[in-house]
Amino acid sequence: MKIEVVVDVKTTLGEGPLWDVEQERLYWIDSFDGRVFRATADGREIRSWDVPMKIGSMALRKDGSGAVVSLQRGFHLLDFATGEVTLIHDPEPDRPMNRLNDGKVDRRGRFFAGSMDTMEEGPSGGLYRLDPDFSVTRIDSGIICSNGPCWSPDDRTFYFADTWIGEIWAYDYDIATGAATNRRTFVRVDTSKGGAADGSTVDAEGYLWNALVYDGRLVRYAPDGSVDRIIDMPVKKITSVMFGGPKLDTLYVTSMAKPPLPRFPGDGVLRGSLFAITGLGVRGVPEPRFGG
């Protein structure tokens, strides 16, 4: 196993690595600086797009014209050619202290993203589903900080985390309807030591990988919730993970250069870097595109 820095752009809050299997390009975001990045698998040909507010997540559109993005105030479309950002829907216009955060697309092209309390204290957030026809459905509520949505390879289980409740949940998932039901605790994370569950992905074997933010560790969980593997990273503030590369066997890891709130710790000189881990002997699954 080898851990390398792919790109060192010192993202204030790097998040959401996303591998495009069609164009073989890697995307990631800077949530606080409002920016979308793209590069080759080895960090060359870097390009970026600015968005007008904080960004929580993104997914590529099926027609290749751009992306759907969860911005601070709602779901938007980003046009890669023009840089134009267009509002689709704000699901929480009455909650100015919330912002949309982490999100991913299921294999029918639906975009799931949750919201969070910007102070990361109160359970004011919700989980939403944006369908290809741009309709929005509320899936869950009472969330402090939404993170880590992903699906099992058979599409029967949806995983989602509330970072500061200290749990990663599993739901029964109906791929035909997009319904997520029967929420239960998949794993509990001990937040008393400073670490908490952030972004996740599921590999081809059905194991869930989670970034423990502020703890600097990646954890691979078996489908039964048991810990299969732990990887110590060069920085503490890791944020999210995604398999990519031409063979989907490189694990990309984002990190933050500056903690979002004063109570969170600082980090070393590699803070804010985008990392790549090779030699794991594990492959990911292709990330779907948004159907709208």
Residue from 153, 160, 193 nearest 175 by CA: 153
Helix (H, G, I), strand (E, B) or coil at 133: coil
Pairwise CA distance, residues 38 & 42, whole Å:
11
Distance CA 55, CA 70 (A): 6
Q: How far apart are CA 144 and CA 99, in angstroms?
A: 11
Q: What is the CA radius of gyration of the chain?
A: 17
In sequence order, what are the residues at sequence separation of 6 or more whose Cβ sits closer than 8 angstroms to the Cβ of residue 66? Answer: 60, 77, 78, 79, 80, 81
The neighbouring-strand residues paired with 70 are 57, 75
Sign, CA dihedral 100-219-285-283, equals: positive
Catalytic one of 30, 33, 102, 198: 198
| Residues facing residue 242 across a β-bridge | 252
* Residue 257 Cα to chain centre, angstroms: 17
Catalytic-residue membership of 79: no
Q: Mind telling me the catalytic residues?
A: 198
